[in-house]
Structure 1
Amino acid sequence: MTMKRLSLQRLVQQEDLNFLLTNRVPRIALTRFMGWFSQIRHPWLCRLSIAVWRQFTDLDLSEAREQRFESLHDCFTRQLKEGARPVDGDPAVLASPCDAIVGACGPVAGTTVFQAKGYPYELRELFGPSQDTRTFENGQYVTLRLTSAMYHRFHAPADGEVQHVTYLSGDTWNVNPIALKRVEKLFCRNERAVLRLRLDSGQPIALVPVAAILVASLRLHFVNLLLHLRYRGPNEIACRARCLKGDELGWFQHGSTIIVFTPPGFSLAEGIQTGARIRMGQALMRLPQVPSPSTS
């Protein structure tokens, strides 16, 4: 890493400056501009943009299936080489749906969840008024933050069925730790979707992808819609989409956050704690243990 690049990264990591540059700006306008700019198909412009991007992040494209991109969008939503993300095959394990840095995680305190120390929010505020959240009261949750340089596609954490999607429009605050310590109920303010799944083992889980500045578009394979800031379709989207563990469910246009919710009985997998780095397919939680049938 060059001294110039290191100096740039240290500069943007200063809390006050980072918060100013990524939040005290016209967030939605910049996000819409980025959506337009990233779709420009021009190899020279794409290479230049990636070179600038690398000055601020540890972007690693060595695992990408393709090494040449026509647009920034193609780079953001890149697929990986076959076998780059082995998926934990243990049926008692809920696999991570994405590459991420683990944020706040642990038990849901009744109906209260924490985005950061001292910053609680309620399940119903995140899921929206139409959703029954009682299933996840006193359950477990894990916040998974995708940085801009990470692989941006997300996958099924277990065998099951996607049964419903709720889309909630909102803002595009940055979702990095600096903003999470300053903006109350940030996840409940940002654009997001709630994906309700039922596992083959019978338990319901929820994945909540949350948008952020420069990223407010979500593509899901099982509904023929692009969910974004200009979306004006129905907020409640019923579906019945069969998925196997590790199947790709969709992708973000840039980087953001996915919050995973489970009912009581699940437990965090070994090593899952705030600040840990995890890859898609690694163990995230363990399913409740089913008592063995008694023998007479």
Structure 2
Amino acid sequence: MKTSLLKTILAQEDLNFLLTNRVPRIALTRFIGWYSQIRSPLLARWSIAVWRCFSDLDLSESPPQRYGSLHDCFTRPIRPETRPIDADPDGLCSPSDAIVGACGDVAGTQVFQAKGFPYTLAELFGPSQDTTPYHDGVFVTLRLTSAMYHRFHAPQDLTVEHVTYLSGDTWNVNPIALQRVEKLFCRNERAVLNTRLARTGTPIAIVPVAAILVASLRLHFLDVLLHLRYRGPNEIALPGQARARFRKGEEMGWFQHGSTIIVFAPKGHELCEGIANGVRIKMGQPLLKASTPA
């Protein structure tokens, strides 16, 4: 009863926005980053119990274990059989568990984070990147809640050619904030992963965006943890043999808590059936596919 009441209170938009944004966001994020790393199974159990009061946290899909820290629970693995990977070799699967946010066509260079709140590809990718391949393309916004599985995976067989890291703020990325904070994704800490599909050579951009309590991003192919204190080099080229190759469904990295991944594909792609704003999906489900010729 108390948990239900707490969730009802937090569902009030003004209060939610106040509690998650009108706070010292970066300081709070750094504190949670420190706190989550404390090695204490007892503290971890207590923290997880509190966490359950605010969310629908479900650990049943993960291998049974005693978490040594809150961080271990945030970044927990899951049993592979719980996330079957779409078998279509030409389709792109969801890189993560998520709630689908804004999605659809890119209008020239303009993308929408929410109704009436556009941003441009250049504003999201940063000034150093060529966004031409995604003009008039298609995009999907995937929001990871705090209780979800936090690791993300390759949507198809691909090679990571370049990473751009952009340090920034830590606004909450929930729908309430997206409807109130202009160009929110372009303000937050993020990384732009420029990849190329192995089968067709098609460029695909994967943009993990951090948020409050989250600003920590691990990419398995980089020997550095990207977070608010990481200032560069912002351009991380992966030439020749240094390029990271992944099979479809292979793990690429993780968020510390939960956040957003935006996937961009060039013109000639479309959303898979059932992909729409508000839909819950799991890693491995069909996400994007090549458009059927008219």
Which range, TM-score by smaller chain?
over 0.9
Whole-Å separation in 2 of the counterparts to 1:148 and 1:67: 19
2:290 to 287, 291, 295: 287
Whole-Å separation in 2 of the counterparts to 1:145 and 1:104: 10
Contact 1:98 1:281 in 2 (8 A): yes
Q: What letter is aligned with 2:67?
A: F
| SS at 1:58 equivalent | coil
2:142 to 128, 144, 166: 144
Residue number in structure 1 paired with 2:15: 17
What is the CA distance between 1:68 and its match in structure 2?
A: 1.4
Whole-Å separation in 1 of the counterparts to 2:231 and 2:127: 18
Residue number in structure 1 paired with 2:211: 212
Residue number in structure 1 paired with 2:166: 168
Whole-Å separation in 1 of the counterparts to 2:179 and 2:69: 34
Mean Cα displacement is larger for which, 24-33 or 5-14? 5-14
Q: Can you list the C-alpha shifts for 1:82-132, whole angstroms capped at 9, x where unaligned?
A: 311100010121000000000000000000000000000000000000000
TM-score (norm 2): 0.97
Residue number in structure 2 paired with 1:294: none
Q: Can you list the C-alpha shifts for 1:243-285, whole angstroms capped at 9, x where unaligned?
A: 1000000000000000000000001000000000000000001
Q: What letter is aligned with 1:272?
A: I
What is the CA distance between 1:287 and its match in structure 2?
A: 2.4
1:30 to 21, 28, 31: 28
Mean Cα displacement is larger for which, 51-60 or 80-89? 80-89
Q: What letter is aligned with 1:117?
A: K
Q: Can you list the C-alpha shifts for 1:170-191, whole angstroms capped at 9, x where unaligned?
A: 0000000000000000000000
What is the CA distance between 1:289 and its match in structure 2?
A: 5.3
Structure 1 residue runs without a partner (length 5+): 292-296
Residue number in structure 1 paired with 2:280: 277
1:246 to 235, 246, 249: 249
Contact 1:94 1:287 in 2 (8 A): no
Residue number in structure 2 paired with 1:5: 3
Q: What letter is aligned with 1:82?
A: P
What is the CA distance between 1:14 and its match in structure 2?
A: 0.5
| SS at 2:80 equivalent | coil
| SS at 1:215 equivalent | coil
**1:149-228 pair list within 5 angstroms:** 149-200=147-198, 201-228=200-227
Structure 1 segments of 4+ aligned residues over 4 angstroms from their partners: 288-291
| SS at 1:83 equivalent | helix
Q: Can you list the C-alpha shifts for 1:136-182, whole angstroms capped at 9, x where unaligned?
A: 00000000000000000000000010111000000000000000000
Structure 2 residue runs without a partner (length 5+): none
TM-score (norm 1): 0.96
RMSD: 1.1
Whole-Å separation in 2 of the counterparts to 1:288 and 1:241: 28
Whole-Å separation in 2 of the counterparts to 1:276 and 1:93: 19
| SS at 1:16 equivalent | helix
Distance 1:290 1:65, change over 3 A: farther
What is the CA distance between 1:202 and its match in structure 2?
A: 1.5
Contact 1:61 1:67 in 2 (8 A): no
What is the CA distance between 1:81 and its match in structure 2?
A: 1.2
**1:104-115 pair list within 5 angstroms:** 104-115=102-113
Residue identity (%): 72
What is the CA distance between 1:66 and its match in structure 2?
A: 3.7
Whole-Å separation in 1 of the counterparts to 2:160 and 2:291: 20
Whole-Å separation in 1 of the counterparts to 2:64 and 2:235: 35
